[in-house]
Amino acid sequence: MSEMPKGSALPQERRVVTAIPGPKSQELAARKQAAVAAGVGAVMPVFAARAGGGVLEDVDGNSFIDLGSGIAVTSVGNSAEAVVRRAAAQLELFTHTCVMVTPYEGYVEVCEELARLTPGDHAKRSALFNSGAEAVENAVKIARSYTGRQAVVVFDHGYHGRTNLTMALTAKNMPYKQGFGPFAPEVYRVPVAYPFRWPTGPDNCAEEAAAQAIDQISKQVGARNVAAIVIEPLLGEGGFIEPAKGFLPRIAEFARDNGIVFVADEIQSGFCRTGQWFACEDEGIVPDLITTAKGIAGGLPLAAVTGRAEIMDAVHSGGLGGTYGGNPVACAAALGAIETMRELDLNAKARRIEEIMKPRLEKMAQQHGVIGEVRGRGAMIAVELVKPGTKEPDPEATAAVARHCHQAGVLVLTTGTYGNVVRFLPPLVIGEDLLNEGLDVVEEALASLG
Ligand SMILES: Cc1ncc(COP(=O)(O)O)c(C=O)c1O
């Protein structure tokens, strides 16, 4: 078999050479249907062959502009040089020891980086895991152990994962929770400041939502029973909702005043995605604990809980862990990803992506009444689609836009509680021409709605 060119060597171009899906993807789809559980769905009807920088090539030779990054994971680009170099070197040394059996330096180095990069200059500790959901579960375990309390407060439109506890923390039923109950107890959901859909309008959204949330916690749960408040500073699966300014600081203050551990879930929004290392920095929030995953390791599975030393160290020895958590190859990849973020100043790149995307999308919003709102920060940008002249969600138009983009060689994702948000999560290394070409296709897709 001839050697396949590396992902990193792929031409950065959009190229559609077959129908989408092409014949080889169709063949694989039939095999998938026969061998893979139906519950494992797929957004795109094509199978990946290689990916590098800002493009993904399928098995039929089509090259897609990647505006999804495998759901905010390959922020440094697919097969980034430093990620491949460091992970490959680690693969040659050892693949696994289990950190609970024989620790290794890479694990410690990632935790040292997390202490440096996360907000706040207090003493910190970290623990590493395999997935975002696992990190959130462990943040709750740690908060319960530290406070001796049980209740966990989460928010409307929040998403925290698909394990039993994190399903309970997640707001949306379909597809995440339907038929999978019963869910973990002692989880309470309160309103979030969603400016576009706040009943009295965006102006007083922050104060009103915070007052309602605090009232519900105080009256229905009792602040002294709450171990943790868990919130995404920029809500991902809920529809890239930016809580109205002032909401997060008010909730963080309430947590501080009541001895509640404030957990920022930055699994989707972290690691340069919003133009800073973490989205909560925007309002000067210093969380007690922060959960990270996705962008941290350039595509290898790694997740972390980082936080105040006294909270993290409240758990007895052996209370945190797992066979694979902080795998050495994933740690090496994370160090490569962080090196890339620093060297290429990917925070600046994310801000540049916002500078390009937002004005273009705002212009499209003026021309197409289907766009209700353009929002997001850095390279975490979305459009919420509605029936023109109303705020009624339009999931059908959203699906049609995504389908048009896919057929034309642009990988976009949809999201949102109402399934009516097209979200853009380009790799931060994407070329500006490629990004603009992707937006041209989005514009065509909107025009095609008629
Ligand atoms: C904010 C947030 N938390 C938790 C998770 C769960 O992460 P994972 O899919 O790695 O378990 C996600 C995944 O999308 C997420 O966006």
Whether residue 444 has pLDDT greater than 50? yes
Domains in the chain: boundaries: 23-66+345-447, 82-343
pLDDT digits (tens, 9 = 90+) for 315-334: 999 999 999 999 999 999 99
pLDDT at 261: 99
pLDDT at 194: 98
pLDDT at 3: 66
pLDDT at 8: 78
Q: What is the residue with the minimal CA distance to atom 3 of ligand 1?
A: 160
For tokens 């959960």, the residue is 291
Confidence of residue 45 (pLDDT cuts 50, 70, 90): confident
The number of C-alpha atoms within 13 Å of 254 and in the hemisphere containing its C-beta is 25
CA distances (Å), origin 257, targets 22, 154, 260: 58, 18, 8
CATH for 23-66+345-447 (3.30.1540.10, 3.90.1150.10, 3.40.190.10, 1.10.3720.10): 3.90.1150.10
CATH number belonging to domain 82-343: 3.40.640.10
pLDDT at 1: 42
pLDDT digits (tens, 9 = 90+) for 362-407: 999 999 999 999 999 999 999 999 999 999 999 999 999 999 999 9
Put residue 419 in one of left, alpha, beta given phi > 0 → left and psi -120 to 50 → alpha: left
- 303 close to 331: Cβ distance less than 8 angstroms: no
Q: Is the CB of 130 under 6 A from ligand 1?
A: no
pLDDT digits (tens, 9 = 90+) for 101-110: 999 999 999 9
pLDDT digits (tens, 9 = 90+) for 127-156: 999 999 999 999 999 999 999 999 999 999
pLDDT digits (tens, 9 = 90+) for 398-431: 999 999 999 999 999 999 999 999 999 999 999 9
Q: What is the residue with the minimal CA distance to atom 16 of ligand 1?
A: 268
| 131 CA to centre of ligand 1 in angstroms | 7
Q: What is the residue with the minimal CA distance to atom 4 of ligand 1?
A: 160
Enter the pTM of the model. Answer: 0.97
pLDDT digits (tens, 9 = 90+) for 165-218: 999 999 999 999 999 999 999 999 999 999 999 999 999 999 999 999 999 999
